[in-house]
Amino acid sequence: MLDCPDLEAPADDATIWRIMDVPRLLAILAGRSLFLPRASALGDEHEGAFPPHQPPLDRALDLIPPAWRASAIRVKTSPGLLELGRNLRDWVYVSCWYVAQHESAALWTLYGHGQGVAIRSTVGRFRKAIGPITPFRPDVQVFALQPQVGAVRYVDYAAVRFDARHPLLPFFHKRLEYEAEREFRLVCAFLPIRNGVVDFNGHNAWPGVAAAADLDELIESVWFAPETPDWQVETLTRILPTFNVGAPTHASVCAFSEF
């Protein structure tokens, strides 16, 4: 996988967290893979968007080599150009992690609903652990973009401009109000091929794609949410070795109280 261009990559020893419910952890263990949902299913309508002052035609012009540009140039657009950016979100897939040395009580509440588990890893472990990424429908012809990783940059969309030559770059940017998320992402895309060309017409029925993962490399430790019942902690601690995962388990320190 590649580092996302125009972004500073996190250090390999940077700690990352993935908070989830118990069924999702069991799916990772059983499938020895990570699920990457569609970007359009992440709940942010601005996911993958370009700044409003950078409309589709401007982006198309960015793709024209400077030597070809002239004041008299004429550009003919296709009817689907205006919807290209929005349609691309349906074919881009994302794995989101939280970058921090310590766990976050706010994210436990947001993503674990007070219960659940977290995988703790590092950027370096993640890079080594992730293997091939395959769509759930390998019979469908697709054009795969090279997977990229990087830390999300939180910006004022009124003051930035993205390089349109890098189609995945917008998926590594979010608005300033999301800055507390401190995301590290793996982003990939499988673009549909019909009649020999990339064609975004039609609905994408894939919920996501699967990335093979070396779990011994990926999982540095497993942490339990503050309100996880003792019986669930005991059960999951016994289950992990049955999936050949030897990572240690820890209770959330957010649960500690002096009273």
**In the prediction, which pLDDT does 259 show?**
45
Mean pLDDT for 57-67 is: 57
Q: Which domain holds residue 156?
A: 2-64+75-255
69 in any annotated domain = no
- Which residue in 111, 167, 160 sits closest to 143, CA to CA? 167
2-27: per-residue pLDDT in tens?
Answer: 888 778 888 999 999 999 999 999 99
Strands 249-251 and 221-224: parallel
pLDDT > 90: percent of the chain: 47
- pLDDT at residue 69 tops 60: no
70 in any annotated domain = no
Higher per-residue confidence, 75 vs 180: 180
pLDDT > 70: percent of the chain: 82
- pLDDT at residue 146 tops 50: yes
- pLDDT at residue 67 tops 50: yes
Mean pLDDT for 117-146 is: 89
Tokens of 100: 């921090």
Domain count along the chain: 1
The band of 62, judged by pLDDT with boundaries at 50, 70 and 90, is low
**In the prediction, which pLDDT does 167 show?**
86
**In the prediction, which pLDDT does 224 show?**
93
184 in any annotated domain = yes
**In the prediction, which pLDDT does 87 show?**
78
